Amino acid sequence: MADTHLPKRARDLPPGLWAAVDAADLVIHAGDWVDAALLDELERRAARLIGVHGNNDGADLRARLPEIARVDVGGMRIAVVHETGPASGRERRCAASFPDCDLLVFGHSHIPWDSEAPGGLRLLNPGSPTDRRRQPYATYLTCELADGRLDAVTLHEVPRQP
């Protein structure tokens, strides 16, 4: 997930996303939490949490979270960052910035993204589960890792509230 902006954009995460958090072996948050209370709750509920701070995160979150996180999960080299710059040229820039990674998870735009850079770097942006910004739905992603590769990448649409 990314760009949750709690409590400014919503009071809480959608129930389906909380269920995914509870079921996941790893939860990734690509920044713009806004309130440290969400970080506290995710640390409590997630089996493992990787997160970074975003441009809307204050000093409290910046003190607890890096700008870039790197982790090896099941043989897959993953990096997480909030901003990657404009969509134009993103694959090329990210491949140059993260040459030692297999997967880059990012946020900032609130717009889902799934592409592959030259050399095989996969780029994923889950969108935002609370602020759909120019999108038909708010969203988040789930993925499965198998044998060091990414399987079953699923973009979940959050039902609109009446």
pLDDT confidence of residue 161? 67
Q: Where are the beta strands (DSSP E) in the chain?
A: 27-29, 49-51, 68-73, 76-81, 103-106, 113-116, 122-125, 138-146, 149-158
pLDDT confidence of residue 147? 87
pLDDT confidence of residue 55? 98
- CA-CA-CA-CA torsion sign (51, 15, 145, 155): negative
pTM of the complete model: 0.96
User: pLDDT, tens digit, for every residue of 65-78?
Assistant: 999 999 999 999 99
pLDDT above 70: residue 134: yes
Domains, the chain, ordered by start: 15-158 (3.60.21.10)
End-to-end CA distance of the chain: 23
